[in-house]
Amino acid sequence: MTEKLLKRSIFIGLFLFFIGFSPIVSADTVGQRVSFIVEPSYSASGLNKTNSLLVKSGNGINFYLEEYYWSSRTDSEKNEIMSILNDLDSEFVSNIKPKLNNTFGTESTPGIDNDPKIAALFYPLKGNARGYVRNIDEYSKFTNPTSNEREIIYLNSEYLKSNYLKEFFTHEYMHLITINQKELRVGGKSEDIWLSELFSEYAVSHVGYNDKENSYLDNRINVFVNNPSTSLTEWGNDVASYGSVSIFGSYIVEKYGIKTLTDALKSNKTGIDSINEALALNGYKDNFQKIFTDFSVAVSLNDCKYSEKFCFKSEKLKDLRVFTLNNFLPSSGESNLFLGQSLSMYSAQWQKFIGGNGDIKFKFKGSPTGYSSVYYIIKKPNDEIVVDYLRISPTTKEGELVVKNMGKDVLSITFIPSIVMFGTTSSTSKYYYSLSASTFVSTPTVQTLPISIDKPLSSMTKDELISVLLRLLYYVISQQQMKYTTNTVIY
Q: Which residues pair with 360 in a beta bridge?
A: 403, 439
What SS3 state is found at 450?
coil
Q: Say what the pLDDT of residue 54 is.
A: 98
The C-alpha angle 108, 162, 154, rounded to 5 degrees, equals 30
State how far the alpha carbon of 21 is from the alpha carbons of 111, 202, 267, 350, 442, in Å: 8, 26, 20, 46, 70
* Residue extents of the structural domains in the chain: 1-190, 192-202+210-320, 325-439
What is the C-alpha separation between 18 and 371, in angstroms, rounded? Answer: 32
pTM: 0.84
What is the C-alpha separation between 199 and 208, in angstroms, rounded? Answer: 15
What SS3 state is found at 375?
strand
**95 phi/psi in degrees, rounded to 5:** -130, -60
What is the C-alpha separation between 83 and 73, in angstroms, rounded? Answer: 14
- In the CATH scheme, what is the code of domain 325-439? 2.60.120.380
Whether the CA torsion 249, 252, 254, 259 is positive or negative: it is negative
- Whole-angstrom distance between the N-terminal and C-terminal Cα of the chain? 58
Residues near 119 by beta carbon (within 8 Å), at least 6 away in sequence: 61, 62, 64, 150, 151, 152, 153
What is the C-alpha separation between 35 and 67, in angstroms, rounded? Answer: 10
What is the C-alpha separation between 43 and 453, in angstroms, rounded? Answer: 88
Residue pLDDT, tens place only, 374-388: 999 999 998 899 999
Q: Say what the pLDDT of residue 294 is.
A: 97
Q: Say what the pLDDT of residue 448 is.
A: 65
Torsion angle (degrees, nearest 10) of CA 79, 83, 84, 90: 150
Q: Say what the pLDDT of residue 280 is.
A: 97
Q: Say what the pLDDT of residue 428 is.
A: 64
Q: Say what the pLDDT of residue 189 is.
A: 81
What is the C-alpha separation between 183 and 176, in angstroms, rounded? Answer: 10
What is the C-alpha separation between 482 and 491, in angstroms, rounded? Answer: 26
Q: Say what the pLDDT of residue 468 is.
A: 75
Spans of the chain, pLDDT less than 50:
1-24, 425, 480-487
Q: Say what the pLDDT of residue 15 is.
A: 42
What is the C-alpha separation between 226 and 214, in angstroms, rounded? Answer: 17
